[in-house]
Amino acid sequence: MIKWKNIANAPKNKVLFLWGHIDPKSKFPDLKWEKPTLFVGYWDSIDGAWCPLGATWQGPFMKCYYWAEIPSDMIPFQKDFDPDDIEKKS
């Protein structure tokens, strides 16, 4: 069972399950969801936004409401994850 928590308390140095929408200010007008959805993402400290894995420096950025831990055995690199590395390598 996933234990959801308020996004305000989410750790910003881990890959997480996130629940939310594409941010309405996103540069991707064709990406719209009627309802919030589950995705795997991280906090991008450069842009100050939540991003799904696979996002680029342009986004898409997410408006998140809740988060949940991903069990460490599901993401082997979790302990070494540095979200800023994604920006530096892309």
For all residues of the chain together, what is the average pLDDT? 78
Enumerate helices (H) and strands (E) in the chain, giving the number of each.
Answer: 1, 5
The predicted pLDDT at position 8 comes to 95
Find the mean pLDDT for residues 55-72.
82
Residues 37 and 64: their CA atoms lie apart, in Å, by 9
Find the mean pLDDT for residues 56-82.
75
The predicted pLDDT at position 43 comes to 92
Residue 24 lies in domain: 5-89
pLDDT, tens only, 11-38? 998 889 999 987 766 666 566 656 788 8
| Structural domains in the chain (count) | 1
Residues 64 and 18: their CA atoms lie apart, in Å, by 7
Q: Is the pLDDT of residue 87 over 60?
A: no
